[in-house]
Chains A and B, each alone.
Chain A
Amino acid sequence: MNRGVLWLLALLAAAVMPLLLSSYHVDLATRILIFAVLAMSIDVLAGFVGRTSLCHGAIFGVATYVVIWVMAKAGLPAVPAFLSGVVAATLVAALFGLLAVRTSGVYFLLLTVALGMVVWGICLRWTGVTGGENGLRGQDMRPALLLARENFYWLVLAVAALAAWAMQRFVNSPFGLSLRGIRDSESRMRALGYNVPLHLFIGFAVSGFFAGVAGALYAFFNEYVSPSSVAMGQSVAGLLMAIVGGIGTLFGSFIGAAAIILLENTVSWYTDRWQAVLGLVFILTMIFAPEGILGTVRRLAAPKGRAR
């Protein structure tokens, strides 16, 4: 209960933030929230199913592409465009899930890398639809009400909070518990009557749905998408945010996304070797705080001898 109050205070603080920040920083905060949702969707699999995905950036990017395409090329209004982005991402995730559910460990990881590459390749080569390397640009995508950055920030905050709450409910539901059972022992789950591949499939699709929500928001935020939005780097960044925040903590992704994006913002003024800095962050996290920021805080705050 105590923890709930803390998160409510954090939400409140996040809600008043745009009143105090420059417009540049409001955009930065918006970006953090969007990527936190992506990182949480990755954590649903990595933390609660024991499956580390490197294709969630691609699922995210599919939603971004679809939203911008249907608005710019098919002239759909914002809300149906948003929904079609999420649906497309979920369908892609379901397809990926079908292929990935029979693998685990490094095979799962490699398969998701390959699937992500396929999406990237399609976005790069299917020039007629995706604009190839030039990408797709949307115009005046946000409804009038959301034109002000503060208003858009508040919408993103509301969606992110809702998504975080939904994912929290999901991982703690009876179904979420079955995913944690699969993480701990697939053979025991089968012996107990669970259709393990089916559960993994559903878990993957649900996780992809949330990655799609993040990607669809990103379309309205950025109003531009290119193959780099579906590239491996996007997946790695999302995973790194989840790791820095704390795998299996879910809400740690907010902290991880903030840490990575603020760092990127600071460092990129001084160096263009951002990828190397990211690698360094990963190594330092693994050595000094393998449980991530929130995971470490929770361990230190927990009464002795009891985990979580």
Chain B
Amino acid sequence: MPAALTLTEVVVAFGALRAVDGVSLSIPAGERRAIIGPNGAGKTTLFQAITGMVQATSGRVVFEDADITALPPHQRARRGISRTFQITNLFPTLTVRQNLFLALRGLAPGKFNLFGMPKPSADEAARTEAALLAARLVGREDTEVRALSYGEQRQVELAVSIVNQPRMLLLDEPAAGLSPNERAMVAEVIRALPRDITVVLIEHDMDLVLGLVDQVTCLHEGRVLVEAPPSEIRGNPAVQEVYLGRARHAAG
């Protein structure tokens, strides 16, 4: 499998803090990859560097054989990189449908239509329905996002990120703060994604993650600590030390 995404020695520094401190990794096309690690490990910042929301201080980001290190976020999005945000980032005063419409038009030429009606084409309508169905939002499509529950807003976050059928999907803790039922739903949505979409998933819930992914990268203090298949992750002493051990510590 050719690599969908290759990071080479990526560094993101905030002043003296190196939130991402020389990460190299390669994710084959179509793989489901989990990124785990304790809070503050640099997982979200790594997503910021991949999507261009934050410029990498040094290193290279290559997506499908093109160097995208210097591209602004919207140009990366147009290459098929889609994401969810750890902190819900939607259009609260717009309806669910309008949120999805903006997502669709972000990659379409119709976004410069200054005078027409915001009417989806037949193809866009079909994609909208599919995303609503996948994220279990049918019946809520004409509600303003700010009027939805937290769980429903997370579902919209997911729907907005998949409605364009991206080439690569970056999910930043999509199930955090959700009820067990809602978490199962999120897992279901991820499992149902077409296999040719590369999925990178940041998630704390080991049970959720390990059943979903092909490979796990554990970050610690901005560096790659371990990269292993899920079956070897729980037993890995380094991972237990920084992640599971600490989690047990925190819980106890």
Contact = CB atoms under 8 A, between A and B. Distances in A.
A44 to B, nearest CB: 12
A7 interface: no
A191 B172 CA distance: 13
B98 interface: yes
B89 A173 contact: no
A206 B83 CA distance: 31
A140 interface: no
A173 B92 contact: no
A178 interface: yes
A188 B153 CA distance: 14
Contact of A178 (B105, B116, B160): B105
B94 A175 contact: no
A275 interface: no
A170 B77 CA distance: 26
Contacts of B111: 174-175, 178, 194, 199
Contacts of A206: 114
A180 B105 contact: no
Nearest to B146: A307
B113 interface: yes
B128 to A, nearest CB: 14
Interface in A108-124: none
A172 B90 contact: no
Interface in B76-129: 77-78, 82-83, 85, 89-94, 98, 101-103, 105-107, 110-118
A278 interface: no
B170 to A, nearest CB: 10
Contacts of A190: 52-53, 72-74, 77
B106 to A, nearest CB: 3
Interface residues of A, number: 29
A303 interface: no
A192 to B, nearest CB: 3
Main secondary structure of the interface of A (DSSP, over half): helix
B90 A188 contact: yes
A177 interface: yes
Contacts of B98: 177
B113 A173 contact: yes
B144 interface: yes
A169 B74 CA distance: 26
A216 B151 CA distance: 52
B45 interface: no
A249 to B, nearest CB: 14
Contact of A181 (B78, B94, B107): B94
10 contacts: A173-B115, A173-B117, A174-B110, A177-B101, A184-B91, A193-B74, A194-B74, A194-B111, A196-B74, A206-B114
Interface of A: 166, 169-170, 172-178, 180-181, 183-185, 187-196, 199, 202, 206, 307
Given A172-B118, A175-B114, A190-B74, 13 more contacts: A173-B113, A173-B118, A176-B118, A177-B94, A178-B111, A183-B93, A191-B83, A191-B85, A191-B89, A192-B106, A193-B106, A194-B111, A307-B144
Q: What are the nearest 8 A-B pairs in CB distance?
A: A192-B106, A193-B106, A193-B77, A184-B91, A190-B73, A174-B113, A175-B114, A188-B89
